Amino acid sequence: MVLMSMTGFADRAGESGGVSWVWEVRSVNGRGLDLRIRLPEGMESLEAPLRAAFGKAFARGSLTVGLRMTRGQGDSAQRLNPAALAAAVAAAQAAGTAARDAGLELAPMTAGDLLGLRGVLETDQGGGAGNAAALEAVAAGIAPLIEGLRAARQAEGAALAAALAGQIDRVADLAARARATAEARAARAGELLRSRVEALLGAGAPVEEARLAQELALIAVKADLTEELDRLEGHVAAARQLLAETGPVGRKFDFLTQEFNREANTLCSKAQAGDLTAIGLEMKVVIDQMREQVQNVE
């Protein structure tokens, strides 16, 4: 059984040029593939290869991928961004002019105020995010991260497959019990049906055999569970086949559990006997448990 779950977690760590990093990915249920990526400043170029790699590896799931980076002490230095400084000075001058035109006087801006503005001072990482070698080393951690998540989802999938196999076997057993019960009921139902039809058509009144046979046939057809039980057995075979398939089968399995539930509902509505109704209700409980498990299958 090779089912893959949509639930899993993986992380991978590395270090290069005085910079250490940790990749993390969390995966939960999703109707399709939903990938959320959180990258530190300077690593934005990794988003495209991340999306391509994860899109190729997984078909469904809501995934959150994050990268944390830590730079060693003494590896950073600050440098002035002349363009950002010029823009900040121009903005300050424009603000001062507008204030004076409005009759207001602003407090003078100090050099510290200017340097504190975002982007005026930049951190130069000799072995950090802006370093091509560090970027390449961080990118090399994507493939191991994907393999780690795949392994986690496969391990979870193995547990799901075992649970589903047990539930499918349980449905098969209940369907067999329902068939045996229905056949036993049919064997003793002839005279009971005859007496009920005669009562319906008029107690003590003569009944035409042709009319009686017609009414008995109609009742027998309404009470017959052969088609429902045949379909249940077919669904059991299809479910076992899905467990053995490779690739994403979650959507197919979800649809199949709906069909299981449809037949179980019909079984309950046509049971007309406490023992068959009890079997149908127990089957519905098992099918609901199966549907909950299937929601985790990729």
Could you report the per-residue pLDDT of 35-69, keeping only the tens digit for each?
Answer: 999 998 888 899 999 999 999 999 999 999 999 98
Mean model confidence pLDDT for the chain: 84
- Domain containing 208: what range? 159-294
Closest CA to 109 of 95, 97, 92, 94: 92
Please state the separation of Cα 200 from the chain's center in Å.
54
Contact 14, 138 (CB under 8 A): yes
Strands 19-28, 61-71: pairing kind: antiparallel
Tell me: do 55 and 180 sit in the same domain. no
- Indicate the pTM of the whole model: 0.69
Tell me: do 86 and 194 sit in the same domain. no
Tell me: do 163 and 116 sit in the same domain. no
Tell me: do 175 and 206 sit in the same domain. yes
Please state the separation of Cα 78 from the chain's center in Å.
45
Domain count, the chain: 3
Tell me the pLDDT tens digit for each residue of 138-159. 999 999 999 999 999 999 999 9
Q: How many CB atoms lie within 10 A of CB 111?
A: 7
Amino acid at 278: A
Tell me: do 253 and 290 sit in the same domain. yes
Q: Tell me the C-alpha distance between 135 and 46, whole Å.
A: 8
Residue with the larger pLDDT of the pair 220 and 210: 210
Q: Which residues, 6 or more positions from 154, have their beta carbon under 8 angstroms from its beta carbon?
A: 2, 4, 5
Q: How confident is the model at residue 250 (pLDDT cuts 50, 70, 90)?
A: very high
